[in-house]
A = this chain, B = another copy of it.
Amino acid sequence: MAQQERAIRTRRAVLDAAAAVFAERGYAAATVAEILSRAKVTKGALYFHFDSKASLARGVLAAQAGIEHHVPRELKLQEWVDAGMTLAARLPGEPLLLAGVRLAVDLQGRDVFGGVWPAWTQRTADFLEEAKRRGEVLPHVVPETTAHLFLGAWIGVQFVSQAVAGWADLERRMADLFEHVLPAIATPAVLARLDTAPDRGSRVIAEAVSEAVSMSVSEAVPVTAVAAGGG
């Protein structure tokens, strides 16, 4: 295995271990020693990529951005719904996403590793700005205001879902959130065409995976071969 490839895998193993520890214990109680022991890498390898607990947290938060299933849609608002619903579908099973949510609401830690709210809010505002340019959004809507409101509502909805159901009802609650907010945003014609069903996220993920497979089938490396080559 090439040196660069090994470095990428080590970094990924460290990030996964850090995510698992942050998701379980929160930032304050997490230790680099536990992350090290879970990642099964040398101390030198870990510190080569991340020089502190804060930098591990920043790495986990930065990794949130690159893991979306994006399938382009005719309606930009549907892409926004899809981003939210795929997140809701994946969150309960993915330590990296769970860690992101936990770190995002850690107010003490934010001063140390920085906040992600501005980036998350901007992402929503970008969807809404583009949807507005395309005429999907009611004229009085201010994308930035809606984006701020949506950030708060989403944080609360996932918190309540975690507390009462261990996230098992997150997709239904997220669908409820979109169904309660979209009528204030979307033009009636667009609203009628949006799919906000609770299983929307899993359907989009299946679609994205099958598209990725069909696109990359000629250059694909079997999953087993990749796993066997690790070290």
Contacts and interface: CB of A to CB of B under 8 A. Distances in A.
Interface of A: 105, 107, 110, 117, 145-146, 148-149, 151-157, 159-161, 163-164, 173, 176-177, 179-185
Contact of A180 (B146, B159, B163): B146
A220 to B, nearest CB: 41
Nearest to A160: B152
A156 B161 contact: no
A160 B173 CA distance: 19
A231 to B, nearest CB: 39
B161 A152 contact: yes
A159 B149 contact: no
The residue in A148, A149, A159 that gathers the most chain B C-beta atoms within 10 A of its C-beta is A149
A176 B117 contact: no
A201 B68 CA distance: 40
